[in-house]
Amino acid sequence: MIWGAVFGDIIGSYYEVHCTKNYGFELQRESTFTDDTVMTAAVCKAITLDSRPVSLFKLSSRALEYAVQYKQFYASYPNAGYGQMFSNWSRERGFSKQRSYGNGAAMRVVPIGFAYDTLEQTLFQAKASCLYTHNSREAITGAKAVAATVWLARHGKSKYEIKEYIERSFRYDLSVPIAEIRERFVFDSRAGYSVPPSIAAFLQSEDYESAVRNAVSLGGDADTMACIAGGIAEAFYGEIPQSIRDFCALRLDGTIKRVINEFNESFK
């Protein structure tokens, strides 16, 4: 279930540095998993350890559980390509709250969309996952939008229904054609700038691969945007080409694989 996000991250990793507007880009040997995968695994671990629903009054304690896993996984993978603000926070002894408006919160919430039975709980958990590292309205909105899109896709909603809900609930414009977005898109990791096109990359896709290609070929924060689009696409389409599975599996280590497999077994 979570492989769609991880494989999107791996495929996009090369093109985060070597940005491309070419939809037909090639898979690259230099591709690797990045902080998107590491933090997705951290969310998987937090949920596997404690998947109980929370109320509004328990949001703070749940947020700390996510934060603990972020720090632990950072310590295991300190060179995975994190932003400076997150790296500084991860190395602190305590648990201060950062107000980042970046897309780092949205990139890691795909597991939340798979794990919870209700949309309300999915949104609660998405918010909790943000509170220590991305405690800003823009970042929380992005994380909630991605988690909600995964939840809706997993529950059999049509693309029309998904688009209507996300546009209405989060004030995102998802109607602009990918080709038009591509013409003017630049690298910008702000959640409000990069999350809507990531969702649009899925909405305007035909299958898993085309969703990831849409996201990468926008020429922006390719690994994160493909992580988001790929995670949603797997929830909706349910299939990932074997060629992509084979390419990406060689670029993962055993710990990441084990954490994600444990999560997938618990929430299949």
pLDDT in tens, 2-35: 999 999 999 999 999 999 999 999 999 999 999 9
User: Shortest CA distance to 179 belongs to which of 210, 212, 226, 218?
Assistant: 218
Say yes or no to pLDDT of 157 above 80.
yes
- Which band of pLDDT confidence, cut at 50, 70 and 90, is reported for residue 239? very high
How much is the pTM?
Answer: 0.98
What confidence category does residue 176 fall into, taking pLDDT thresholds of 50, 70 and 90? very high
Which residues, at least 6 apart from 265, have a Cβ–Cβ distance to it below 8 Å?
none
- Number of Cβ within 10 Å of residue 257's Cβ equals 14
**134 three-class SS:** strand
Give tens-digit pLDDT for 132-142. Answer: 999 999 999 99
Q: Which of 189, 244, 237 is nearest to 213 (CA)?
A: 244
Please tell me the predicted confidence (pLDDT) of residue 206.
98
pLDDT at 252 over 80: yes
187 contacts 219 by C-beta, under 8 angstroms: yes
3-state secondary structure of 99: strand
